[in-house]
Amino acid sequence: MAKVYAVAGDGSIDFAFAGRVVIAELTVDEAARKLEEVLEERFFKEANVDISIANFVEGDVLVTGAVGSPGIIPFRGDSILTLMEAVTRCGGLSGKAAGDRVRILRWTPGGGMERQSIEVNLQAMLDTMDFSRDQYLRPRDIIIVPFQGEDEGRNEFLALGEVGSPGFHPYKPGLDVIKAVTMTGGVGEDADWSGVRILRPRPTGEYSIIPVDLGRLFSAADMSMNIPLQQGDIFFVPSIRNLVRPQVYLLGEVNKPGAISVNPGPNATVARLVLAHGGVTQFANPGKVQIQRTAPDGSKKTLLVDVGRILKEGTFEDDVPVQDADVVIVPEKGLLGL
């Protein structure tokens, strides 16, 4: 079970055969103890878990609204960035800012796709020079500084992320995803089409999240994805640069073996992976390429892929998508490699 486990946006990890376990808000030692309890409750008489940090989450902090220069601040999970510092780096509060109701939108640990809303009186900090209520930020936080007189987004919606014109836009009855994309200048080349979200305010002040797959909408004309927007909605198009990428291990008779971070999408397949990393050596048997894969229940299975035929004939429709932690092995000629 020793491997690198990516912590998902909801603060959970897919802990091998034990399933999803939420470890957000825990220290390394606390998380290790919790995983031991999960294993001892159902699988082992005694379990010992040690955790070390393989790498920290990188995710932009978005600052939008009534600030001097709305924009994106690159941020790593091992860095320290406060709300006041983020707003200051984006030009500070503008003259029309409602600085007493600045909001931080943050993933809710264990809450699926929901975000919590944290309201902060930033103006009071500046007036009194008392920063004791400043907030530490996290990767992928969204900071919204409303304008004075803005009635909680009435007659407006907010576009964030990889859109041509991020910021507040006028809301009109009949607004839907297609019209929102057009109104905001389209999506950028780094847009994660399958990860688009509509954040919808609740009476409690938190936000529910509605997933939208722009690929299905624009490529497959799936109009079920053309969801109507409401007043006060946030239309968020994330960047593929912030994705937690699957890691695949390419071994054997290939020119560039090693651990490879793979961008999710239609190109994340075995033959394309081999082709993109220098192809195979002269000693390779590309007709019997193996994928060694661990199933959710912990069992192991091996898939055989005729990469040679796929590359020779261009039949990429027969290619096999890779998954996180797959081991792809290209054997030598004359060996089964099993």
At 167, is the pLDDT very low, low, confident or very high (cuts 50, 70, 90)?
Answer: confident
Q: Quick one: pLDDT at residue 124? A: 92
Closest to 329 (Cα-Cα) out of 292, 298, 281: 292
Q: With CA atoms as reference, report the closest residue to 94 among 66, 69, 122, 120.
A: 66
- 117, containing H or E segment: strand 115-120
pLDDT of residue 11: 76
CATH class given for the domain over 247-330: alpha beta
Q: What is the pLDDT of residues 37-73, one digit of tens each?
A: 988 887 888 989 998 887 776 678 888 888 988 888 8
pTM of the model: 0.50
41: exposed, middle or buried (Cβ count in 10 Å: 0-12, 13-18, 19+) = exposed
pLDDT (0 to 100) of residue 6: 78
Fold of 1-54: wza like fold (3.30.1950)
**Residue 69, number of CB atoms within 10 A of its CB:** 10
Half-sphere exposure of 217 (CA within 13 A, CB side): 17
pLDDT of residue 338 exceeding 60, the answer is no
What does the domain layout of the chain look like in residue ranges? 1-54, 61-242, 247-330
Average pLDDT over residues 310-332: 89
Per-residue pLDDT of 168-222, as tens digits, reads 888 888 999 999 999 999 988 888 888 899 988 887 767 888 889 898 888 778 8
pLDDT at 265: 64
Rounded-to-integer distance, Cα 178 and Cα 183, Å: 9
Half-sphere exposure of 19 (CA within 13 A, CB side): 3
Mean pLDDT of 150-172: 78
Q: Rounded to 5 degrees, what are φ and ψ at 257?
A: -75, 160
Mean pLDDT of 214-232: 88
- Centre a 10 Å sphere on the Cβ of residue 213 and count the other Cβ atoms it contains: 16
Per residue in 85-113, pLDDT (tens digit) is 999 999 999 888 889 989 898 876 655 55
pLDDT band, very low/low/confident/very high, at 12 (cuts 50, 70, 90): confident
Over the stretch 239-275, which tens digit does the pLDDT of each residue have?
876 655 678 999 999 999 888 877 766 678 899 999 9
The answer as to CATH 3.10.560.10 being correct for domain 61-242 is yes
Identical fold between 1-54 and 247-330: no
How high is the mean pLDDT of the chain? 84
Is residue 253 within 8 A of residue 285, CB to CB? The reply is yes
- Which amino acid appears at position 160 of this protein? L
